[in-house]
Amino acid sequence: MAQVEKRVPGTERIQTVEMRGITKRFPGVLANDKVDFDVRAGEVHALLGENGAGKSTLMKILYGMYAPDEGEILINDTHVEIHSPTDAIQYGIGMIHQHFMLVETLTVTENVALGLPSSRGLLTDLDAVSKRIRELAQVYGLQVDPNAYIWQLAVGQRQRVEIIKALYRGADLLILDEPTAVLTPQEVDEFFATIRQMVAEGHAIIFISHKLHEVLAISQRVTVLRDGKRVASRETAGCTKADLARMMVGREIRVMPEKPPAQVGDVMLELRQVQAQSDLGTAGLKGVSLQVYAGEILGLAGVSGNGQRELAQVVCGLRPITSGRVLLKNEDVTGMLPGELTKRMLAYIPEERMKDAMIQQFTVCENIILRDHNKPPYAQRGFLRHNIIGEYTDKLIQYFKVKTPSRDTQARHLSGGNIQKVVLARELSRQPRVLVAAQPTRGLDIGATEYVHNRLIEERQKGTAILLISEDLDEILALSDRIAVIYEGKIMGVVNRQEATAEQLGLLMAGVKEELTPA
């Protein structure tokens, strides 16, 4: 299949893209307020801002998904009209969305070929496409099996498919909306290598991330949005994390929290030689043994797809165990249903909160009682007590500072960060004895991240046993008392925080085992 015909005015490749005075109103929200933004071939321009600052909106305008209310777009200094993604693609703009745009039931090749003219006319030319995918993969280090179905792929691999899709369409400018949120540090490194390669070949990149160190590492320029306005735009070189944070939030942020010493108690959660299958039917957990004590945070580090999801689900009764035992405070809870575990004061913040822990069409109230809807005082003889539920919800909204018009607002109308807070509020307010928190700060801005970290530490001080699952090694190191590393469904080792180093953990995460002093 040939490259797509482009109708870029003047030159063939994108040299500069400029957005001038872009304003976008959603009823009730001024998402973008006279924003100027530009990017040049051969550079990475980072876009920063709190949750809801208007980053995605600005980029969707550039990609033709939203029409701006005011402002104009210029490519190579020529005014262009971009009315749809098709227009954008033809100008050589590619976008990788915050939420992947992939058809899970199709193969990688089919996803890439979708919507493109075929060299065989009406028939698909999947062989040719897959050949070209392998070439691109070679050039940019994007290893992925063209014949695999999307549902079989891990997030990191899906990310690569998205990039291949854009490159395949001959994107000169690539918009990356929080591409690293779901990637492991290793994957981020590989991903950055790909980006550098692309920049070297003259691509222009727009990069959105909440992780300041990534912004510092990859970008040449950075622009900060706050409440829809551009508040700063400067060369990255010379900026510090603290500078960026201040520009974003307008106040000082402690990037990593302070932590009082741990008051460790009894074993609260114990896994003994647990085995379980993964979604694909392969062995997901191959005999995992772990203990989490009251009053400690046990960090579980590991590269995504090594069994973290399975482990969390096994503990919370959402995945059957093929062999082994799970104990909650010395009680065997193997095979118990989630409802029964809930009664035993187990709390769980799952990785995919929007999907797995919230009912988008339910109100905040209704979501707050998702775990306890049939327990007094929220229900009596099978009837819900809306007054009590409402008052309780109001209290949580206030205490956890959830930004919502009212307790009766549907969850889907809240911003991602606030949905996160609702889950957190629900799980923590249940006064759990054991808390499983998977990727609790994924997708959150630094202000919200700081807030979540503080809450977790607070919970630890109350004597809760916390299993913190994170792919963010910085987060693990900052919060954990002990750190376990999981690799291919097995625990590679457990180390005390004081004895752990990033290098050593990195090796373990890669499956390289050294002799360790067990914690």
Partner 1 sequence: MKQFLSKFSVSSFFDAILPVFAALAAFGLGAFMLLALGANPITAYAALIEGALGSWNAVAETTVKAVPLLLVGLGICIAFRANVINIGGEGQMIIGAIFATLIGLNFTDLPGWLVIVLAMIAGFLGGALWGAIPGYLKAYFSVNEILSTVMLNAIAVQLMNYLLRGPMIDPAQAELASKIPQTARLDPLFHLPRLIPTRLHLGALIAVLLAIAVYFLLFHTTLGYRIRAVGYNPDASRYGGIRVRKQIVIAMLLSGAFAGLAGAIQVYGLNYRMITDGSASGFTGSAGFNGIVAALFGQLHPLGTIPASFVFGAMLVGANSLQRAMQVPSAFITALNGLVVVFVVSSEIWRRRRQHRRRLTARIVEDELVEATIKPETEAQP
Partner 2 sequence: MIEDLFSTTVLVGILASGIRLATPYLYAAIGETFGQRSGVLNLGVDGQMLLGAFAAFYVALTYQNLWLGILAAIIVGGLMGLAMAYVTVNLQAQQGISGIGFYLFGLGMSDLLFQKLLGTVETVRGFPSLYIPFLSDIPFLGDIFFRQNILVYLAYLLVPLAWFVMNKTTLGLKIRAVGENPEAADSLGVSVARVRYFSIILGGMLSGVAGASMSIALLNVFQQNMTSGLGFIAVALVYFGGWRPGGVLLGALLFSMVNALQLWIQVKGIQIPSDFAVMMPYVLTILVLVLAVQRVRPPSALTKPFERES
Ligand X SMILES: Nc1ncnc2c1ncn2[C@@H]1O[C@H](COP(=O)(O)OP(=O)(O)OP(=O)(O)O)[C@@H](O)[C@H]1O
Please give the backbone phi and psi of residue 387, each rounded to the nearest 5 degrees, phi first: -65, -50
Please give the backbone phi and psi of residue 89, each rounded to the nearest 5 degrees, phi first: -60, -40
185 preceded by a cis bond (ω within 30 of 0): no
Q: Which of 97, 158, 160, 426 binds partner 2 (CB under 8 A)?
A: 97
Strand order in 78-80's β-sheet? 29-40, 16-26, 70-75, 78-80
Count H helices and E strands in the chain, helices first.
Answer: 17, 22
Is 123 a binder of partner 2 (CB under 8 A)?
yes
State the nearest-atom distance from the C-beta of 428 to partner 2, in Å: 33
* Options 9-17, 31-39, 96-104, 299-307: segment touching partner 2 (CB under 8 A): 96-104
State the nearest-atom distance from the C-beta of 115 to partner 2, in Å: 4
Bridge partner residues of 469 (DSSP): 300, 438
Residue of 349, 369, 346, 338 whose CA lies nearest to 421: 349
Whether residue 261 contacts residue 457, with contact meaning beta carbons closer than 8 Å, is answered with: no
State the nearest-atom distance from the C-beta of 165 to partner 2, in Å: 7
What DSSP string runs through 324-344?
Answer: EEEEETTEE-TT--HHHHHHT
Contacts of 186 (CB under 8 A, 6+ apart): 303, 506, 509, 510
Is 56 a binder of Mg ion (CB under 5 A)?
yes
State the nearest-atom distance from the C-beta of 139 to ligand X, in Å: 30
Is 420 a binder of Mg ion (CB under 5 A)?
no
Kindly give the pairing relationship between strand 323-328 and strand 70-75. unpaired
138 binds, among partner 2, Mg ion, ligand X, none (CB under 5 to 8 A by kind): none
Q: Which of 14, 48, 95, 326 binds partner 2 (CB under 8 A)?
A: 95
Check residue 26 and report its DSSP letter.
E
* Options 26-34, 250-258, 293-301, 362-370: segment touching ligand X (CB under 6 A): 26-34
Nearer to Mg ion, 47 or 271 (CB): 47
What does the per-residue mask of binding to ligand X show for 381-410, with x meaning CB under 6 A? xx----------------------------
- Residues 411, 416, 422, 428: what is their CA dihedral angle, to the nearest 10 degrees? 150
51 binds, among ligand X, partner 1, partner 2, none (CB under 5 to 8 A by kind): ligand X
Is 502 a binder of partner 2 (CB under 8 A)?
no
Is 56 a binder of ligand X (CB under 6 A)?
yes
Q: Which amino acid is at 216?
A: L
The contact set with partner 1 (CB under 8 A) reads 26-29, 250-251, 316, 318, 337-342, 348, 350, 355-362, 366, 369-371, 373-374, 379, 382-384, 386, 401, 403-406, 413, 447, 451
Contacts of 304 (CB under 8 A, 6+ apart): 154, 155, 156, 182, 183, 184, 187, 471
Check residue 497 and report its DSSP letter.
G
Whether residue 210 contacts residue 449, with contact meaning beta carbons closer than 8 Å, is answered with: yes
Bridge partner residues of 80 (DSSP): 73
State the nearest-atom distance from the C-beta of 372 to partner 1, in Å: 9
Is 29 a binder of ligand X (CB under 6 A)?
yes
Nearer to partner 1, 147 or 374 (CB): 374
Q: Which of 339, 391, 462, 501 binds ligand X (CB under 6 A)?
A: 339
Q: Which of 19, 22, 31, 126 binds ligand X (CB under 6 A)?
A: 31
State the nearest-atom distance from the C-beta of 190 to ligand X, in Å: 24
Contact positions vs partner 2 (CB under 8 A): 65-67, 84-86, 89, 95, 97, 101-106, 110-111, 113-118, 122-124, 165
Interface residues with Mg ion (CB under 5 A) are 56, 98
